[in-house]
Amino acid sequence: MGNGIGISFSLGSASGSGRGSDEFEKCMGEFREPLEEAVSWIEKNSAAGESGFGWLNLPEADISPVLEAAEWLKGYDSIIDVGIGGSALGNLMLHQALLPMYYNELPRGKRGPRFYLADNPDPEKASAIWERVSGSRVALIGVSKSGATAETMSQFLWFRSRMSSSVGGDVDKDVLVITDPKGGVFRKFAEETGCRSLEIPPSVGGRYSALSPCGLVTASALGADVRGLIKGAASMKKFLSEKRGVRDNPALYLAAINRFHEKNGRPMSVLMPYSNRLETFAEWFAQLWGESVGKDGLGTTPVRALGAIDQHSQVQLYTAGPDDKLYTIINVANHGAEINLPTVTDVSLSSQSFLSGRGLGTMLGCEARSTASALVKSGRPVVWIELDRVDAHTIGALVLFYEYVTAVTGRLMKINPFDQPGVEQGKRYTYGLMGRSSYEADAREAEKYFADITRVNISA
């Protein structure tokens, strides 16, 4: 890319494949002014600190409080992080990309504290986490901007109670909450108990918070290079701000591609990285994209896939099923130390001699190119993104890039990419069904709609 970021974007196949390049060029002409306006809209509102736009300012944020809290966390045997949605997926994505694989299984000298994420309020999972940490020094982190998220607060209360019963005394000395700087339940809790706290910038939404304390503090405590993450994000921000034209700015170009294919009968967007380190990146993308652009009857459904595994589960559908998807393949040029295969000498295995001396990383790259080529042969549109390697710098850059693409695409669709009204309705129903005061009408409404589901019931 000429600026040391280490990411390249190849967009040719997606520029009208299967629908005619002339039609795409016409749309590009129509999109030019709205895309330019979207850039001004993002830059103006992020500079003003408007709600939802704070993600663009995170590369310049002071992370010294994060690093100080991370040093404190390193003194514990285990960390339980309680959060859901953006408060959880950013952690998982950064950890998988940047920490040693099977991190918790490493001996203590080769890792920091063991890490457990309590996201889904499944009693079996919560109990299993506690069984693994009970009797050790445990730090509890609660992540919620409001502190009112039912899934988070219920588990936070339970784990805090377990810790109190186990060790007694002032359990809140082992608690960190990451929340709004001024308001909300968790902020009041921190003021009452004196527990540690970190601030989520008011202008940063949950699914855009991976590069805020929500994602950075545990990544740093476990040994990830968070300074490198921030530098990578800053490099991508600078690159995108300098490339003002649609055709030389990959974020604007990709936003146009997404909108074009949505309008032309492709309502799904497949993200398929060819690296185990990026598997959870695809999950993080799915939330970012789905909650941001799925509104007013618009948007494309994010589909997560992992190469090469899903060549054997989904690519048959992708190449020969309905032509209703846009595909993005993320390839990694350098997977680290290569594993070279031995020379095949067994007569019974002679048909596999072509593998002799070849590398597993080389094979994974060949499979990525093969899948992309097979899709293009079938008339499917493919975006190819290639990372020089998976490291803190490239991941930070890739996170900011996709946040930018998502925001621009939402603006191009004339919807708000920073709210989630559908999610809020489900929250209100949950509050009502769990007996929260003032939500009785929501409980009755939820029961009415659920009764329609169970109106026809067959039990086995």
Q: Which one of the listed residues 151, 262, 279, 291 is annotated catalytic?
A: 291
CB neighbours of 412 closer than 8 A, spacing ≥ 6? 31, 34, 35, 38, 255, 256, 259
What are 220's two structure tokens? Answer: 């740093």
Handedness of CA 160, 164, 169, 174 (dihedral sign): negative
Catalytic site includes residue 291: yes
Catalytic site includes residue 427: yes
Q: How far apart are the first and last CA of the chain?
A: 59
Q: Which one of the listed residues 182, 312, 377, 448 is annotated catalytic?
A: 312
The DSSP H or E segment spanning 57 is none
Q: How many residues does the chain have?
A: 460
Work out the number of other CB atoms within 10 angstroms of the CB of residue 103.
Answer: 17
Among residues 274, 365, 376, 358, the alpha carbon closest in space to that of 318 is found at: 376
- Cα 330 from Cα 418, distance rounded (Å): 25
Residue 206: alpha-carbon gap to chain centroid: 11
Residues 427, 291 contacting (CB under 8 angstroms): no
Q: Which residues of 397-413 are buried (b: 16+ CB within 10 A; e: fewer)?
A: bbbbbbbbbbbbbbbbb
Q: Tell how strand 7-10 and strand 382-389 pair up.
A: antiparallel
Helix 392-412 × helix 86-98 angle, to 10°: 140
Catalytic site includes residue 43: no
Residues carrying an active site annotation: 291, 312, 427
